[in-house]
Structures are given as C-alpha cells and as structure tokens.
C-alpha cells in the first residue's frame, strides 16, 4: 500500500511539474520571426563564421533584423545572396567581389634572417620571440597560420614559404587578416591588376640590405603613373585602385620588382 501511494504521488508530482513547465514556456517564450526560418533554409548551413557571426542562425537573425544585407553570407556567394534577397523580397546590392592580397614578396629566397628560429611552427609564436627571426620586421614569417585559418582552402604555402591566394576560391571573409600577426593581408577587388607586394615602412637603404624585392620608396612608380594613382607614404608605395587605369607604367620602372601584376 505504501509503495502504491508513493508511485501515485511521484506520478502526480511529475504531471504537475510538466504542467508548470508548459505554462512557463507559453508565458516566457519569445516568438521567432518566421523569416529567420526561411533564411536558414536558404543558407549553406556550414556554420563557418565567415560572416562574422558564430553560425548561420546568428546571421539569419541579423539579416531578418536588418543589421546586414543579403550579400553577407560569404560562403554562399552570389547565388545564396540572390536567393536570400528573393526570400526577403528585397533588391540585391551589387558589390565588387573582393579577395585577400598578400603584402609581402620576401620569401625564404628573397629575404634575410636575423637568427635561426627553433620553436613552435606558427607565426604568432615566432613573432613573439624577439620580434621575429626575419631581418625585415614587416616580412611574412612563412608558417602558414593564414592557410590553416582559411575556411575555403584558398591559401596555400609556396616552396618559398609565402602564402599564395587562390583568388577564385577566396570569399573575403577576413580570417587571414585576423590571423596574421604582421597584418600582411588586405582585401581588394578581385579585378585588381597591379599590386604593391610589400608592407615595409623602413628606409630604402635598410630594405635593400635585407630584402631583394622590398619597396625602397624611390618615387619612380609615382612619377611614371599617368593617372596619379600611386603615392609614396611612410617609405612605401601605395596604389589608389579607384584612380588606377591599369596603364602598367609602374611595373616597368620598379627597380625592385615590388609591384606585381595579376592577369585574369
């Protein structure tokens, strides 16, 4: 009899608890925007974080709230952006496709080292040790932290220990920018043709001693550009891609071969 009463009491207690939980859920539940569900169904579902949110749900909620536009899903690309815009009944804003470009051409064969590095094979650890082993404190350390961080495998490491970006695969998520301890990546339009492959602000005399392809701020490219698209600032050439008309005069006069050309 005591056992039966105990079972009945526990059953009633469980039933009461269930009812209370159900009432609490109804009272405190937050109604979800139905657009979030529709957006989620249109997304790749990779939860890669390339959009800047922890996962696809965070992106979907932000898009539904109007905090970002439909082109924010970098992994999905233009096709997904068009689908999202159609789902929300909005117009897709046309933007130039971007990609990551490296700001260093000084690989193992072109640049000198200050000392032999023996430690963890990653750029952050190497950079933390005395400012890095390279004589150029702006140069790529070559361990490929950027390649490891890239969610689309758009970055590979060359034999010269420099990152090589596959422009077609790059979705401009910016993870390589965040990962590189020396800020050696920049996002530029994929159609970019001429690019200054250096980030050093050291004076030309020092650059010549430590790197075969570093910018020496000689002013020749600035003088040669017919469109005024190149300026020397802080001992480093910079191309204004809004002014650049791809004349190619800069690459002809650069004595260090610092300016490189990308051919489509």
pLDDT in tens, 181-193: 999 999 999 999 9
pLDDT in the model for residue 75: 81
Answer with the one of 88, 110, 125 that is the final residue of a domain: 88
- Report yes or no on 168 lying in a domain: no
Outline where 116-218 has alpha helix (H). 123-128, 145-149, 175-179, 204-210
Whole-model pTM: value is 0.77
pLDDT in the model for residue 41: 83
For residue 206, give both structure tokens.
């020092």
Query: What would the pLDDT profile of 207-234 be if each residue is shown by its tens digit?
Result: 999 999 999 999 999 999 999 999 999 9
Q: Which domain holds residue 228?
A: 192-264
Average pLDDT over residues 1-21: 72
pLDDT in the model for residue 28: 56
Average pLDDT over residues 127-134: 94
Phi, then psi, of 121 in degrees rounded to 5: -80, 65
User: Could you give the CA distance from residue 133 to residue 145 in angstroms, rounded to a whole number?
Assistant: 16
pLDDT in the model for residue 247: 94
Answer with the one of 49, 67, 88 that is the final residue of a domain: 88
Interior/surface letters 100-134, b for 16+ CB within 10 angstroms, e for the rest: bbbbbbbbeebbeeeeebeeeebbebbbeeeebbb
Task: Please list, in sequence order, all residues whose beta carbon lies within 8 angstroms of the beta carbon of residue 79, skipping any fewer than 6 positions away.
Answer: none
pLDDT in the model for residue 68: 81
pLDDT in the model for residue 230: 97
> Given a cut of 60, is residue 1 above it in pLDDT?
yes
Average pLDDT, the chain: 89
- Report yes or no on 181 lying in a domain: no
The H or E element that residue 99 is part of is strand 98-102
Contacts for 69-73: CB closer than 8 Å, 24+ residues apart: 69/93, 71/95, 73/43, 73/44
pLDDT in the model for residue 8: 73
Q: How many CB atoms lie within 10 A of CB 80?
A: 18
- Report yes or no on 59 lying in a domain: yes
Instruction: Using a pLDDT cut of 90, give the percent of the chain over it.
Output: 61
Binning pLDDT at 50, 70 and 90, where does residue 26 land? Answer: low
**Is there a contact between 254 and 221 (Cβ–Cβ < 8 Å)?**
yes
User: Could you give the CA distance from residue 2 to residue 173 in angstroms, rounded to a whole number?
Assistant: 66
- Report yes or no on 253 lying in a domain: yes
For residue 64, give both structure tokens.
């539904």
> Given a cut of 60, is residue 58 above it in pLDDT?
yes
Query: What would the pLDDT profile of 29-57 be if each residue is shown by its tens digit?
Result: 556 677 888 888 888 887 888 787 878 88
- Report yes or no on 54 lying in a domain: yes
**Is there a contact between 177 and 155 (Cβ–Cβ < 8 Å)?**
no
For residue 111, give both structure tokens.
């640049």
- Report yes or no on 178 lying in a domain: no
- Report yes or no on 256 lying in a domain: yes
The H or E element that residue 259 is part of is strand 259-261
pLDDT in the model for residue 80: 84
Answer with the one of 72, 88, 104 that is the final residue of a domain: 88
Find the CATH number of the domain harbouring 46: 1.10.15.40
User: Could you give the CA distance from residue 199 to residue 187 in angstroms, rounded to a whole number?
Assistant: 14
Query: What would the pLDDT profile of 136-153 be if each residue is shown by its tens digit?
Result: 999 999 999 999 999 999
> Given a cut of 60, is residue 23 above it in pLDDT?
yes
Q: How many CB atoms lie within 10 A of CB 180?
A: 23
Choose among 207, 187, 203, 185: nearest CA to 258: 207
User: Could you give the CA distance from residue 183 to residue 259 in angstroms, rounded to a whole number?
Assistant: 18
Q: Where are the beta strands (DSSP E) in 160-239?
A: 163-165, 185-189, 194-196, 230-233, 236-239
Instruction: Using a pLDDT cut of 70, give the percent of the chain over it.
Output: 93
**Which residue has better confidence, 59 or 208?**
208
pLDDT in the model for residue 24: 62
- Report yes or no on 212 lying in a domain: yes
User: Could you give the CA distance from residue 150 to residue 199 in angstroms, rounded to a whole number?
Assistant: 21
pLDDT in the model for residue 153: 95
Q: Domain count of the chain?
A: 2
Find the CATH number of the domain harbouring 210: 3.30.70.20
């Amino acid at each position: 009899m005591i056992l039966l009463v105990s079972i009945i009491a526990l059953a009633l207690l469980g039933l009461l608890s269930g009812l209370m939980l159900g009432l609490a859920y109804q009272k405190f539940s937050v109604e979800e925007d139905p657009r979030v569900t529709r957006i989620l169904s249109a997304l790749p579902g990779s939860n890669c974080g390339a959009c800047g949110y922890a996962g696809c749900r965070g992106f979907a909620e932000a898009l539904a709230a109007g905090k970002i536009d439909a082109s924010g899903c970098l992994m999905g690309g233009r096709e997904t952006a068009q689908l999202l815009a159609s789902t929300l009944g909005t117009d897709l804003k046309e933007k130039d496709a971007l990609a990551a470009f490296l700001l260093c051409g000084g690989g193992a064969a072109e640049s000198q080292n200050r000392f032999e590095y023996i430690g963890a094979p990653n750029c952050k650890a190497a950079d933390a040790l005395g400012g890095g082993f390279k004589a150029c404190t702006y140069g790529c350390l070559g361990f490929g932290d950027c390649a490891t961080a890239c969610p689309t495998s758009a970055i590979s490491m060359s034999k010269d220990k420099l990152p090589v970006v596959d422009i077609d695969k790059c979705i401009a998520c910016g993870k390589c920018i965040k990962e590189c301890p020396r800020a050696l990546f920049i996002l530029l339009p994929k159609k970019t043709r001429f690019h200054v492959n250096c980030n050093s602000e050291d004076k030309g005399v020092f650059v010549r001693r430590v790197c075969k392809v570093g910018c020496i701020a000689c002013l020749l490219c600035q003088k040669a550009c017919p469109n005024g698209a190149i300026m020397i600032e802080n001992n480093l050439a910079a191309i204004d891609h809004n002014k650049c008309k791809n004349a190619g005069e800069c690459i002809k006069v650069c004595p260090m071969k610092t300016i490189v050309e990308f051919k489509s």
